[in-house]
Amino acid sequence: MQLGSTGTWQDGESLIAYFPSDTVPSEAGHAIEAWSGHFLSLNLLDAPLQAEWSTTDEADWITAWQAHFSPLPVGERLMVLPDWCPDSDARGRIPLKIKPGRGFGTGGHATTATCLETLEKRLTAAPLPAPTVLDVGTGSGILAIGAALLGCTRVTAFDNDPDAVLNAQENARLNHVEDTVRLFTGTTDAVSGHYDIVLANLLAHVIVELMPELNRLLAPGGHLILSGILNEQVDQIDAALAANGLKAKDYISRGMWLMVLGARP
């Protein structure tokens, strides 16, 4: 993505990355070789990365996306759909449409799915008259949009990547929730008030660093839905919660990834 890739997908041990037609393969290849050497020095690779280049057209790019992004049921009520699918593909569920872009989150990753499932459970288990939701690092906007589709009437979402926010805004319009989901480029510094549910699908070290801010923004009796955490990092998250007067109420492990449900008394 830093080199300008417009989309990627994994095929076995290969990563297929699409670039604009004006990309100079030798320049991108040089950067890949440099990163490869860095990863080798850190013992993160067994062998150097090998880059192979070929040309394709836009139709092939769309076909590749369509082959690897199909309707995905999440939780009890949502169906994540690529933007080219009709609403009827939701098969009686609530359609949540996503246009693949540079924002993380198409529903297929375990971290995204467990966040959406936990959000739905919280809204069902303890219904509030007008639950407020904050999505920290929104990516594609999928969690914020899911919250709006599940009935939340005040959703705030942000990301420090302007390209991700543009993708999220487009997805909000696709789902007709652009008036419910407030999106902006920025950080927690620009957010005030308290929220009943705070979503943070990030990485463990980022969550630990942000925990005081997440605590500041969480309403009394509110819940934190934290993901992007490796199973072995649970102690770091538990310690950060405790240091801020919060506690873990639930854990969901899926593969190598863990979702932690935190609560403020």
**pLDDT confidence of residue 63:** 63
pLDDT bin (cut points 50, 70, 90) of residue 66 is: low
**pLDDT tens, 121-142?**
999 886 777 889 999 999 999 9
**pLDDT tens, 222-257?**
999 999 898 999 999 999 999 999 999 999 999 889
**pLDDT confidence of residue 255:** 87
Q: Tell me how far apart the alpha carbons of residues 142 and 113 are, in angstroms, rounded to a whole number.
A: 10
**pLDDT confidence of residue 170:** 95
Q: What are the sequence ranges of the domains in the chain?
A: 7-64, 102-263
Q: Tell me how far apart the alpha carbons of residues 124 and 122 are, in angstroms, rounded to a whole number.
A: 5
* CA torsion angle 196 185 142 66 (round to 10): 180
Q: What percentage of the chain carries pLDDT values higher than 70? A: 93
Q: Are 237 and 208 in contact (CB under 8 A)?
A: yes
| Amino acid at site 91 | R
6 pLDDT above the threshold of 70 = yes
Least confident of 31-40, 69-78, 242-251: 31-40
Q: What integer is the mean pLDDT of 141-155? A: 95
Burial class of 67 by CB neighbour count within 10 A (0 to 12, 13 to 18, 19+): exposed
- Any bridge partners for residue 96, and if so which? 80
Q: Where are the beta strands (DSSP E) in the chain?
A: 7-11, 14-18, 72-74, 78-82, 94-98, 132-136, 154-159, 181-185, 195-201, 218-230, 247-254, 257-263
Return the structure tokens found at 51. 């880059």
Q: Which of the two residues, 39 and 91, has the higher pLDDT score?
A: 91
Q: What integer is the mean pLDDT of 77-86? A: 92
Q: Are 206 and 234 in contact (CB under 8 A)?
A: no
**pLDDT confidence of residue 109:** 82
**pLDDT confidence of residue 100:** 75
Class of domain 102-263: alpha beta
**pLDDT confidence of residue 10:** 81
**pLDDT confidence of residue 65:** 60
**pLDDT tens, 180-227?**
999 999 999 999 999 999 999 998 999 999 999 999 999 999 999 999
Entry pTM: 0.78
User: To the nearest whole number, what is the mean pLDDT of the chain?
Assistant: 89
